[in-house]
Every structure is written in C-alpha cells, then in structure tokens.
Structure 1
Amino acid sequence: MKKKVVLLVCLLISAALGGGFSEVSIATKAIDRSNILSADIPTPAGDLSNLVLTLQDLPAGFTEMPPATIQKLVSSLNRLKPGSVFAYQKNDDQQFQIVGGFTTPLPNRIERATFDAQIREGSFAQQFSQRLNSGNNEFQFANLTALTLEDKIGEVSGGWTTQGKIKGVTMNVEVALFRRGKIGSFLMIIYLDGNKPAITISEAARKLDSRMMELKPDLTQPQ
C-alpha cells in the first residue's frame, strides 16, 4: 500500500466521519485529552473517554493512528461534541485495514429520537454517501447500501457498505451506527477489495457495545 493511498484514506475518514449526521444540539463542551476527545460532563458517569476500542480488542498487527490524524478526526467531529474518538490501522504485507469510530452523548429524548431516525430512515446513509465523494476528486465511491449486522447491537442499529476507488485502488468501506441507552456510536472499517477484513464491522461494534454496557451501566439502560 503506497503512502499516498494511506494519506488519502485518512482524509476519507476525516471527511466521512464529520459529515454523516444532521445537526444535533449536544450541550456539552468538549476538551482534548491526547488521542481521545472526552466530553466535559460534570458527573463521573458522563465521562465517555474510555468507551473506545483498544489494541487488545483488535487482531495482531494493528497500530494507533498518528496523533495528527486523530486530531483531524477530532476537528471534523467538533460540532458533535464526541465523548471519545479512536482510529487504528493495519498496513503490512498481509493486510491493509483501518478501524475508526467515536461515541457521542445523547442526554435528552429529542437527540435520541433524531439519532434513531437517522438510522431507521436512511438519512445518515444518504449524507454519508454524499460526503464520501465531496471535496476530493481522488475518491470514487458508490452510494451506500444496507448491510446486515451479524449480532444484536445496541437498542437501535444499522449497517451500510460501499465500494470505491482511491487513486485507482479498490476499497471497501463498511459502517455501523447504533445507540445504547444515552450513548450513540459510530464505527467504520476500510479494507482492500479481495481481502477479508482482519476484524469485521459486526465484531468491532459488538466489542464496543459490550464495553459501553460494562463501563457505563447507568447510561446504557434502555430508553
């Protein structure tokens, strides 16, 4: 995988993560803590900074994205006031894959209803598809189509997939969006066409969902 393509994939993540959602007012001020952006919520239960996938959750060979890349992701998500942001890459002779995502607090019913509607009505997928190709003529992706997640994830969840080219290299992009209680989550994986992903979108989402329930039981009760 050429370095140019890797850099373009990072740009793709930044563009797509920041553009798939309608404006939702989240009244929490965000602060940057190294690689993870944590929502500055007064109560300990509101700190979502540990709701991330870790290297221990991923197959061997993954590494953290460079801090500069994480900061670009944080900047693209600023209006959503995310509770946590994470991104990892595997780039060797056997596999190229990127896993990234974030969580966001949904403290009131309107925010949760809006988030759920974006999943059920497909508005998220439409916006995400538009962002994949906007602003960079290096990206050539088809519209997202529905993807069935293998496990029961969150209270409300949806998955989508698309295929496209970056500098002539065919890539698969899969995304999952789900809500558990008062927390919304987004995950995306990118991998070379013709290869099996080292970790599937369903596996990654299940791990994150389980961590949310384990660490934040008070925020992940059914709503």
Structure 2
Amino acid sequence: MNHLFRPYLLAGFVLTTFLFNGTAIGATTLEQLAQTGIGEVTQMPLLVKAEPPEPVALTPEDLPSGFQEIPPAIRSQLAAQFKVFGEQFGQEDLDVENFFAFFNPQSFQAVMGFTGDLGTPEQQERFDANLQKLQEPDVQTQILESVQERLKEFGNIEITNPSVLSELNDVADASTGLSVEVKMQSQAFRIDMASFRRNEMGAFTAVIYRQSDSPIAIKDLAEKLDRRIAMRTVEDNSSPTTPSED
C-alpha cells in the first residue's frame, strides 16, 4: 500500500470521527435491549430472536470498479481508534460494527463511513441541531483547529478551506455536507463528507481524493447509504418475532 496512503486516510478518518462524535450519536447495544422488560419475561411466551441483521453500510457493489476493502488489520485499527475518540468525546456507546472503508489504488480515492443508532428523540434532536451547527463558519474553524492539533504527531498535515456542500441538505430526514482541503507531503487532497439521519439511525460517509481528480459524488454515496437504512427500517417493521414452542 502506498506510503502516503496511511497518513492520508488517517487525516480523513480523524476528521470524520471528530465530526461524527460531535453529533452525539449513541448506539444501543444488544445487551441493553435484552435488559428491557426483563421482569416481564415470566408473564409472556418465550421469544425466538432472529439472527442479527447485517450491518447497515456501503459495500463494494455500491462503488465503481477498482475499489478494494481496506485490509482487515488496518480496518480493525481504524475501528479501535474510532472507539478511543468516541470515549474521549463522551460517546462510550458508539457502535463501530458498521464502520466501512475502501481504497482505489489506481485513482487514489478512499471511501469511508459508519452508521449508528439514535435511540431516543433527544439524541435525534441533538444530532439534527449539530448538523445545522456544522454549517456555521465559526464551528467549522473550531473543529478544524481541534483536528489539526490531533494530527501534529503524524507530521505536516494541513486542513483548510472548509465549505458547505448545499446539495446534501435534502438527504433523508436531516442532513448536511462539508468539504475541506488537506495538504500533506506537497500534495493536495480534498475530503467531501456527508452526515445525515433517517428515522433512528445516523450516518456518515466521506470521499477522500486528490484535488486534481474527479471523485465519486458524495451525494450518490449518501443516497445509496440512505436507501440501505430505509430498507432496514422496512425489514424491521415487517419482521415480527416468532413465539417458540418451548
């Protein structure tokens, strides 16, 4: 893998992680769900749980040819780092199972993102409010300064020129988009990001690419991910739990 790729992906990862954590997404775990209504079990038939659903995430089929999944070892490191950042920002219950990352060695583009549950109306309202805040120049400046500080240990990486992607304002129930310039080792890249919510799930995806190239449209990726979330919602609503014969 190209020696430039890892700091390049890391810059995008740290930035997207920071923004995602800033929206205060929290994922409800299976253990927490199992505790709900535990005192009522003796009053109801035992229920057979369905197999856990597949994570809601983009797949290689959603991308043009040439994209490869990030090797599992690197993906695990990124997911673990995501958890660490989540804990630093007070989001200990962030779910990293829905993390995805792909890289195209020919075009030198990367696609990454993750989804998470927003289990309460309060979380959803806070998420939506923070999406709006991300469009404010002062908030963008504060975020970039914080990210820049965290990237110091990885060398001379500069993140500048944030701009709102207004075409992403109409995805799902609430959404926003942001693009920034990343300079490292005398090369210029851009990161286009989309964050949105549909029903009780928040999502984030990003495209990282050389500034001189034509990237995958971030809105196309966001809409594909949104469709997966919508399909999951339909499946959840149409799949009643079956009583056991025990």
Q: TM-score, normalised by structure 1?
A: 0.81
Deviation at residue 64 of structure 1 after TM alignment:
0.2
1:88 is matched with 102
Instruction: Give the whole-Å Cα distance in 1 for the aligned partners of 2:165 and 2:51.
Output: 31
Deviation at residue 138 of structure 1 after TM alignment:
2.4
Asked if the contact 2:27/2:118 (under 8 Å) is kept, the reply is no
Deviations 1:101-148 (A, max 9, x none): 000100001111111111012277456423442232421111422112
* 2:75 maps to amino acid: I
Evaluate the alpha carbon distance shift between residue 28 and residue 13 of structure 1 in structure 2; reply closer, same or farther with a 3 A threshold. Answer: same
Describe the SS at the equivalent of 1:52.
Answer: coil
1:140 is matched with 158
Evaluate the alpha carbon distance shift between residue 108 and residue 82 of structure 1 in structure 2; reply closer, same or farther with a 3 A threshold. Answer: farther
Q: State, as a whole percentage, how many aligned pairs show the same letter.
A: 25
Evaluate the alpha carbon distance shift between residue 188 and residue 209 of structure 1 in structure 2; reply closer, same or farther with a 3 A threshold. Answer: same
Q: TM-score, normalised by structure 2?
A: 0.74
1:130 is matched with 145
Q: Which structure has the larger Rg over C-alpha atoms?
A: 2
When structure 1 is superposed on structure 2, of 69-78 and 187-196 the one drifting more is 69-78
* 2:95 maps to amino acid: K
Asked if the contact 1:96/1:191 (under 8 Å) is kept, the reply is yes
Asked if the contact 2:172/2:196 (under 8 Å) is kept, the reply is yes
2:74 is matched with 69
Q: Identify the structure with the greater helix proportion.
A: 2
1:4 is matched with 3
Asked if the contact 1:48/1:84 (under 8 Å) is kept, the reply is no
User: Which of these residues, 204, 207, 211, is aligned with residue 224 of structure 2?
Assistant: 207
2:44 is matched with none
Instruction: Give the whole-Å Cα distance in 2 for the aligned partners of 1:103 and 1:84.
Output: 6
Deviation at residue 74 of structure 1 after TM alignment:
1.3
When structure 1 is superposed on structure 2, of 13-22 and 105-114 the one drifting more is 13-22
Greater relative contact order, per chain length (Cα 8 Å cut-off, separation 6+): 2
Deviations 1:30-89 (A, max 9, x none): 8xxxxxxxx985597995643111111100000001112211221233232245100000
1:116 paired to 2:128: yes
2:57 is matched with 52
Segments of structure 2 that go 5 or more residues without pairing to the other structure are: 35-47, 87-93, 238-246
